[in-house]
Amino acid sequence: MSNRVGSRGQKAVDDGERSLIGPPSGDSPDSLLDQEASTPIFVYLLAFFSALGGFLFGYDTGVVSGAMLLLKKEMKLSALWQELLVSSTVGAAALSALSGGFLNGWLGRKICILVASFIFSIGGLILSLAPDKVVLLVGRITVGLGIGIASMTVPVYIAEVSPPHLRGQLVTINSLFITGGQFIASVVDGAFSYMSHDGWRYMLGLSVVPAMLQFFGFFFLPESPRWLLQKGQCQKARQVLSQIRAGQNINEEYDTIRLSIEEEDKEAGGGGPVILRILRHGPTRRALIVGCGLQMFQQLSGINTVMYYSATILQMAGVRDDKQAIWLAAATSATNFVFTLVGVWLVERVGRRKLTLGSLIGTGLSLALLAIGFLLSAQNSPPVTLHPVDFQNSTCRLYGSCELCMLDPDCGFCYRDNGTRVFDSSCVSADQTSTDHAAWGRCSNRTEAADNPIWAYNYCPTSYSWIVLMGLILYLAFFAPGMGPMPWTVNSEIYPLWARSVGNACSAGVNWIFNVLVSLTFLHVAQFLTYYGAFFMYTGLVVLALLFVLGCLPETQGLQLEEIENLFTGPLCSCGSSSPNDNRHVHYIRQGLDFSPAHYGSVGSDSAIAYITVSTRSRR
Ligand SMILES: O[C@H]1[C@H](O)[C@@H](O)[C@H](O)[C@@H](O)[C@H]1O
């Protein structure tokens, strides 16, 4: 066996710009392989308690739709207030994710996670006790602040404590917890939807339980060894690393991190604010473009529109009963959750790049299918057959088909059907206080009698709903394993330590900003482009995302965090061909070491081994 260099059997690198013969520090010749042989349970424990932050992210973003159904009736919320309560959380998350970078670098990952879970607990309490809508808004903003910090800190923390061979899987578990949180939220929504008085208090308040669990759990968990080393707390860092690796040989890992930090200090783009240093430093700037691009495309592929729109899609498919629609929407988030599990399973088997590419291809095709379903439904949209005298003189009376009628947010379609055919249909104004009813006429009746006509707001009855439904399920099945988790996973790994907090803050901020943009504009986009137009537009955006990933996303699987920076030393879009061997490395070459089986795993004689750290570089 030849000399072993760095992790995962890479060959020695020559052309060293700098070569150190350092004090021998390794005991086992292959400590990273040792880590692969057995992973201490403690790492899973850390991942679990951190990923509770992901759970809260998912729960708090998911629970609001069901809570809103009850809230709008109980508090008589106008459309503006409903919109405020939903989007204030996402807006606050964007702001706190952006500022979280500074906190993360300053206070450390552990304190930030503790702060986030504390904010989640307070937010949950405010929401469950809120006497009016203003306090509710304060609670939703508070929760958003927690989500922002958690969304950027948790993946970083998990990546920094994980051994390289498991890092992808463990960070992806955070995404599993996000979709798990969304799923549990939809089940809780379903369960409490029967409690028309104060049910929303339980829905919104239940998040206090996982938040407290995380808060108390994290008191006993350690800070990231990488952050500690960066802050010069070497002794503590070594101690934590050996605690996390449960007594395995940590010398090689420790030395790689330490040397990489020393190298980074010299090279990290000079002084000044970190964001400016990132922008001045070629490889890190390129990493930031890739990270932010991935997060932007994740949201532009329309996940939250599809999730939000799932209830309507189900209504189109003929589900009339509100309660039934809520439970079926839970099935949608269950699909998202189950397929994220597939991602956890695949990420270390096929790698991040292939998983993201495969996911995007499937997502694009499913979006096209969704669009075709909407197109066929629009082309076969039932006509308006009744034109009752409209004393309000609204625009609704002008529409000749259900498609045109439902695209106007002020109108709804009132009709009867005999199972195969729509008849006695009219387009009338929706009630301003609740779009569940028409403002006047046959569909304004709030009592649900079997012979009442059907009120369709935001959708049209169609016999092509099965295509849309199939598109929805396929979309989630393809999105959830790749485009859902990979932007978070990749961002946690691609920045060097000095830029990691700020890099993740920026990319998480981009995610939240595009989240707000897409959800706030969807209805307007649909109004201008129609539903099928909107979904064809998302298909186009996914094609762009595919080109971006194909060109710019390198594979990070199996590399140590310190090696990943080197993937970005080449041109931005090198079609994934960059390899860490191309450029600078900090590696250990054992000199004169006996690799015979007898020596394997034994405590080596320091005097017999010389470590050479070889560093090659090619920048900009
Ligand atoms: O990765 C997550 C996940 O896919 C969620 O389902 C989605 O709601 C979030 O916006 C996204 O960031």
- Compute the average pLDDT of residues 467-496: 94
Residue 200 has pLDDT above 80, yes or no: yes
Neighbouring CB atoms inside 10 A of 548's CB total 18
CA–centroid distance, 585 to ligand 1, in Å, is: 34
Taking the model in full, what pTM does it have?
0.82
Distance CA 57, CA 536 (A): 29
Q: Is 304 in the pocket of ligand 1 (CB under 6 A)?
A: yes
Residue 614 pairs in a beta bridge with: 19, 587
Which segment of 324-338, 368-382, 494-508 scores lowest on mean pLDDT? 324-338
Residue 366 has pLDDT above 50, yes or no: yes
Distance CA 299, CA 519 (A): 9
Residue 21 pairs in a beta bridge with: 612
Q: Is 484 in the pocket of ligand 1 (CB under 6 A)?
A: yes
Residue 579 has pLDDT above 60, yes or no: no
Positive or negative, the CA dihedral 233, 234, 239, 240 is positive
Distance CA 501, CA 102 (A): 7
| 320: confidence class by pLDDT, cuts 50, 70, 90 | low
| pLDDT tens sequence across 128-166 | 999 999 999 999 999 999 999 999 999 999 999 998 888
Instruction: Give the residue, out of 303, 490, 522, with the most ligand 1 atoms within 8 A of its beta carbon, to mutate for a pocket test.
Output: 303
Residue 340 has pLDDT above 70, yes or no: yes
Distance CA 500, CA 272 (A): 16
pLDDT higher at 269 or 519:
519
Query: What is the number of H-type helices and E-type strands within the chain?
Result: 22, 6
Of ligand 1's atoms, which has the minimum distance to the CA of residue 62?
8
Of ligand 1's atoms, which has the minimum distance to the CA of residue 515?
10
Neighbouring CB atoms inside 10 A of 334's CB total 18
Scanning the structure block, which residue is given the tokens 């099935």? Answer: 331
CA–centroid distance, 178 to ligand 1, in Å, is: 7
How deeply is 610 buried, as exposed, middle or buried, from its count of CB atoms within 10 A (0-12, 13-18, 19+)? Answer: middle
Distance CA 130, CA 139 (A): 8
| pLDDT tens sequence across 89-102 | 999 999 999 999 89
CA–centroid distance, 484 to ligand 1, in Å, is: 6
Conformation bin of residue 108: beta by default, left when phi > 0, alpha when psi is -120 to 50: left
| 448: confidence class by pLDDT, cuts 50, 70, 90 | low
For position 450, what pLDDT does the model report?
Answer: 65
Q: Are 438 and 446 in contact (CB under 8 A)?
A: no
Candidates 119, 126, 152; CA nearest to 292 is 152
| 317: confidence class by pLDDT, cuts 50, 70, 90 | low
Q: Are 206 and 5 in contact (CB under 8 A)?
A: no
Q: Is 515 in the pocket of ligand 1 (CB under 6 A)?
A: yes
Torsion angles phi and psi, residue 20, rounded to 5: -110, 135
CA–centroid distance, 507 to ligand 1, in Å, is: 14
Question: What is the DSSP code string of 540-559?
Answer: HHHHHHHHHHHHH----TT-
| pLDDT tens sequence across 396-424 | 999 999 989 988 888 999 999 887 889 99
Which amino acid residue places its CA nearest to atom 10 of ligand 1?
Answer: 304
Rounded to two decimals, the ipTM of the complex is: 0.98
Distance CA 607, CA 17 (A): 26
Provide the 3-class DSSP secondary structure of residue 420.
Answer: coil
Q: Is 206 in the pocket of ligand 1 (CB under 6 A)?
A: no
Q: Which helix (H) or strand (E) holds 417?
A: strand 411-417
Read off the tokens for 482.
Answer: 């790749």
Distance CA 125, CA 140 (A): 11
CA–centroid distance, 388 to ligand 1, in Å, is: 44
For position 318, what pLDDT does the model report?
Answer: 62
- Compute the average pLDDT of residues 455-476: 88
Distance CA 343, CA 602 (A): 37
Residue 192 has pLDDT above 50, yes or no: yes
- Compute the average pLDDT of residues 208-233: 94
How deeply is 428 buried, as exposed, middle or buried, from its count of CB atoms within 10 A (0-12, 13-18, 19+)? Answer: buried
For position 268, what pLDDT does the model report?
Answer: 60
CA–centroid distance, 409 to ligand 1, in Å, is: 27
Percent of the chain with pLDDT over 90: 51
* Most confident stretch, 63-72, 238-247, 337-346, 497-506: 337-346
- Compute the average pLDDT of residues 431-438: 81
| 360: confidence class by pLDDT, cuts 50, 70, 90 | very high
Residue 223 has pLDDT above 80, yes or no: yes
For position 115, what pLDDT does the model report?
Answer: 97
